[in-house]
Amino acid sequence: MIKEKKDEDWHPTSIFWELTNRRADEKTISYCESHDQALVGDKTIIFRLIDKEMYWHMMADDTDGTVGRGMALHKMIRLVTLASINGGYLNFMGNEFGHPEWIDFPREGNGWSYKYARRQWDLVDREDLKYKYLNAFDNAMVELVSKHYNFQAEPVEKLWEKDDDQVLAFRRGDLIFVFNWSPVKSFSGYGFLAPAGEYEVVLDSDASGFGGFGNIDDSIHHFTQPDPLYSPSGKGWLKLYLPARTAQVLRMVKPKPAGTKKTTKATKKETAAATKKTAPRKKSEK
């Protein structure tokens, strides 16, 4: 798809089908790119997306459009692959932070050279380069999934797919994964049906800490809007702001048990004052 199709021709229906076209009991290992792509013979995903611009525009403060596009899609591709696993997730060393070059072991064809027989781990540690952003996002998405026991066993429930908008949404457990693959269209108040309730954003590919533009306010909680037609089935319309080329993960907020009061600083002070008043006084010794 990266090689053969323009960005506006990336269809969510095709992406979801390719990632989930398997028997439910068939365990598979999902990966974004094979080991051969990191070896001499093909380009890695990040290098195919950004190519030679990686050598000139990976400084943290660089605003090159090609690099911006490549990083955005790199994060989305990895997240949608991990989120749809049915067994395991595989990554080839260095690809998590977008290593810029290939691996080539000493051989007769390269004059027995060791030049490319290594990974440049120092790139991800440099604060002045963008590789740290890709690495931070990779760590965050893996940590998110790892916190959910037996995540891969959760059924993948498609909530929405619309090729015209290039929007895809699916659910696993209490997590909802939403992708806007469009290179040019951002949507405000974009709605799709989801289990009724309250949701919080737990991962956002556009966050500034991941090299994005920070267009999504992660502090906002989203509530589904009731619809008489779907309320009997426990569903409502979840409406979100979806910037172009971004992905976000929302988690359903579990309702608190009835009668549970939220503890605030004010209530803590009132409780402390009441305790002082009711506490028995000690008898003074004569």
- pLDDT confidence of residue 173: 94
* Arithmetic mean of pLDDT, 45-58: 93
pLDDT of residue 284 exceeding 90, the answer is no
pLDDT band at residue 226, thresholds of 50, 70 and 90? Answer: very high
Give the Cα separation of 265 and 111 in Å (integer): 70
For residue 153, what is the DSSP state? Answer: G
Tokens linked to 159: 């909530």
Nearest to 49 by CA among 60, 29, 64, 30: 64
CATH assignment of 7-153, among 3.90.1150.10, 3.20.20.80, 3.30.160.20, 2.60.40.10: 3.20.20.80
Give the Cα separation of 30 and 221 in Å (integer): 32
Tokens linked to 237: 């319309």
Q: Where are the domains of the chain?
A: 7-153, 157-253
pLDDT of residue 72 exceeding 90, the answer is yes
Q: How many CB atoms are closer than 10 A to CB 9?
A: 12
Element (H, E) at 180: strand 175-180
Residue-wise pLDDT tens digits, 231-273? 999 999 999 999 999 999 999 998 887 665 555 555 555 555 5
Give the Cα separation of 120 and 129 in Å (integer): 13
Which carries the bigger pLDDT value, residue 124 or residue 101?
124
**CATH number assigned to the domain covering 157-253:** 2.60.40.1180
pTM for this model (two decimals)? 0.86
Residue-wise pLDDT tens digits, 135-193? 999 999 999 999 999 999 999 999 999 999 999 999 999 999 999 999 999 999 999 99
Percent of the chain at pLDDT > 90 equals 71
Locus of tokens 């999504």:
216
